[in-house]
Chain A
Amino acid sequence: MLSRPVRLSKAYMAQAYTFMTVYRGELFLWMIATSLPIIMMGIWVEAGESGAFPGFGPVEAARYFIAVFIVRQFTVCWVIYDFEYQVVTGKLSSRLMHPADPAWYFVTNHLADQAIRAPFCIGLLALCFVIQPQALWGDSSIGGEHGWWTPSLQQVGAAVVATYTAFALRFLMQYTLAMLSFWHERVAASDAVLMVPYTFLSGLVIPLQLLPEPLDLWVFYTPFPYMVWWPATLLAGGDAGFMQPLLVVTGWLGGLYALNRFVWWRGLKHYSAMGA
C-alpha cells in the first residue's frame, strides 16, 4: 500500500535533486536574500542587552533568530511562481499526463531544494555563531542563567514536526492561491500581498510574545505565527506549547486542503476548456 507513494517520491526527489544542483550558485545568493532574520537578530540582541524585555535577553534573542533562520531554510516556498509559469506556458499539460498529481512534482522540488541548501545553511549558521557566540554556550551575566544551547531530543523532535507542519501550511496556502492562475494571468504578483502579513506576523522580524497588548492575543488565531514563530521558539528552547498550536494548524491545514482540492478541480475544468 505504502510502496507507491514511496516510489513516487523517490523518483521525483532524485530528478528534482539533480535539477536543483545546477543552481548551486543561485541558491547561495538566495540564502543571503533570506538573511533578514540575521539582520533582525542584531536589532533584538541589542534590545535584549538593554534588559527592557523581561525573559528576552541577548541570548534568547540570538537563539530565537538563529532558529528562525534555520526554520526559514526548511520552509521556503515559491510554488506560486512555478505554478503560474506552468499554467501560462501550458507546460502543466504534460505534468497532467504523469501518473501522479502535479502536486508531487512541486512538493518534491521544494524538498530537494532544502536538501541542497543544507551545506550553505551550515556555513551561514557558523557565521551566526561567530557574530553571537553567546547563543551557543550561553551567558550568566545578562538576563539570567543560560547553559549551552543543547535542545533535548524531545525538543528537536517537536521542532522538526513543527517545521514540516509550517512548511505544509505555507505551501498549501501558496498553492491554493496559485490555483487562481487558471483564471488570471499574473497571480504570482498577489503573493507579494500575502508576504506582508507573513513578514510581520510570522515572527520573522518580531518575536511574537513581545507584541503590544491587543495584537498578542488575536495574532495566534491567524495561520502566520505557525509558519515561523512556533517551530523557531520550540527549537530555541522557548515556551510556545505544542498540542494547542498543532490543533490550530491542523484546522487551517484541513480548511486549506479542502479549498485547494475544490479550486483545483474547478480550475482544471476551466484549463481544459481553454483547449490546452
Chain B
Amino acid sequence: MKRYTTTLARFWSAAFAAEAEYRVNFTLAALTSVMGTAGALLTLQTLFSTGYQIGGWSWPEALLVMGPYLVLDGTQQTIMSPNRSALSEHVREGTLDFILIKPIDAQFYLSAHRLSLWGIPGLVLGVGLTGYALVQLAQPDSPAPLTASALWLFPLMALGLVTLYSLGYILATVSIWATKLDNLTYAMQALLEAGRFPVSGYPFAYRVFFTAVLPVAFMTTIPAEVALGRAGSGMLLLCVAVAFVMFTAARLFWSFALRSYTSASS
C-alpha cells in the first residue's frame, strides 16, 4: 500500500511540474471554468425564474446536485480524462508493453500517472458551490432543513466518483481492440451532462435511461437525496452496490481485454 502512495506522489509531482509550463493555458482553463459555472447557474436561474421547481427540488436543493456534478466533472478532467487518452496512446504506439512489465498494478498506473491541472478550477468551484448549497440549506428559513444525514453526501460523492471512474475505464479498455476511441469518450461525456439536474426533473423515459442504463442518477441525484434525508438506507446501499459492481466490472473487463492484447511487435 505504501508503495502505491509514494508512487502516486511521484506521478503527480512530476505531472504538476510538466503542466506548470503552460501557465497561459491554465489561466484560460480557469476563465472557462468560471464562465461555465456562471452559465450553469444561469440555466438553473432561468428554470426557477417563474416559480417552477425542477422536479420538485428547491433552489438550494438543486444546487446540491449541481455542485457535486461540478466536483465529479472537475475530477474527471483532472485525472480520468488525461489518463484515458494516455491509455489509448500507449496501445497505439505499442508502449503499453513497458507498463505491463512494471512491478506495479497496470490498471493503477494507467489510471493515475497523468494529471491535468486544467480541471482544478472547475473542481474548486464545484466544492465551493456544494458548500454554499449546504450553508443555504442550514439556514433557519431553509426549504429542507439539514439533518445529520447530510454527512452522507461526501462518502456518496466518493462512490459516485468510483462509478464514474469505472465507467470511463471500461470505455478506455475498449481501446485495446479499437485504438481510436476519443469520440466514444466524448459521447459518454455528453450523456453524463444529464447529471447536472435532479433526475426527477426529466420525463419518465429519461429517468429510466439515466438510472438503469447509464447510472447518472447514482452519481449526483441519489447522493443529494440521501443527504437531504429524502431517501433511506436502501438507496444508500444501492449506491454502494452500483459502485462496487461497476468497479468489479471494470477490473474484470480490463483483465479480459489484456488476454487478447497482442502487443505491438508480436
Contact residues of A with B, CB < 8 Å?
26, 29-30, 32-36, 39, 42-43, 45-47, 50, 52-53, 131-132, 186, 189-190, 192-193, 195-197, 199-201, 205-206, 210-212, 215
Q: Are B190 and A212 in contact (CB under 8 A)?
A: no
7 nearest CB pairs, A to B: A200-B39, A52-B52, A29-B183, A32-B187, A33-B186, A42-B202, A196-B35
Q: B-side binding surface: helix, strand, loop or mixed?
A: helix
Do A26 and B183 touch across chains, with their CB atoms under 8 A apart? yes
Q: How far is the CB of A189 from chain B (nearest CB, A)?
A: 6
Nearest neighbor of B34 in chain A, beta-carbon distance: A196
Contact A39 B47 (CB under 8 A): no
Residues of B within 8 A of A35 (CB): 187, 190-191
Q: Which residues does chain A contribute within 8 Å of B22, judged by CB atoms?
A: 186
- Nearest CB of A to B65, in Å: 12
A52 to B197 CA separation, bound complex (whole angstroms): 18
Are B197 and A47 within 8 A (Cβ)? no
> B20-57 toward A: CB 8 Å interface, digit per residue (1/0)?
00100100110110011011101101110111101100
The distance in angstroms between the C-alpha atoms of A35 and B186, with both chains bound, is 11
Please report B residues at the A interface, Cβ cutoff 8 Å.
22, 25, 28-29, 31-32, 35-36, 38-40, 42-43, 45-47, 49-52, 54-55, 180, 183-184, 186-187, 189-191, 193-194, 197, 201-203, 205-206
Contact among B186, B190, B203 with A46 in the assembled complex (CB-CB below 8 Å) = B203
In angstroms, Cα B207 to Cα A46, docked, is: 12
The answer for the CA separation of A210 and B201 in the assembled complex, in Å, is 18
Contact of B54 among A43, A192, A211 (CB under 8 A): A43
Contact flag A39-B191 (CB < 8 Å), given A33-B186, A53-B52, A200-B43: yes
Residue of A nearest to B181 (CB): A29
> Is the beta-carbon distance between A32 and B190 smaller than 8 angstroms?
yes
30 contacting pairs across A/B (C-beta < 8 A): A26-B183, A29-B186, A30-B186, A32-B190, A33-B183, A35-B191, A36-B190, A36-B193, A39-B193, A43-B54, A46-B54, A47-B201, A52-B50, A131-B206, A132-B203, A189-B28, A192-B29, A193-B32, A195-B32, A196-B39, A197-B39, A199-B39, A200-B39, A200-B42, A200-B43, A206-B42, A206-B43, A206-B46, A210-B49, A212-B45
In contact, A33 and B43 (Cβ under 8 angstroms)? no
Are the CB atoms of A205 and B35 closer together than 8 Å? no
Question: Which residues of A lie under 8 Å from residue B46 when comparing CB positions?
Answer: 206, 210-212
Question: By CB atoms of chain B within 10 A, which of A45, A192, A196, A201 has the most?
Answer: A196
Whether A39 pairs with B35 at a CB distance below 8 angstroms is no
* A192–B32 touching, CB < 8 Å: yes
Contacts of A46 in B (CB 8 A): 54-55, 201-203
The distance from the CB of A17 to the nearest CB of chain B, in whole angstroms, is 20
Q: Which residues of A contact B25 (CB under 8 A)?
A: 186, 189
Q: A36-B190, A205-B39 are in contact. List 13 more A-B contacts (CB 8 A).
A: A26-B180, A32-B190, A36-B193, A45-B203, A46-B201, A131-B205, A192-B28, A193-B32, A197-B39, A199-B36, A200-B42, A205-B43, A210-B46
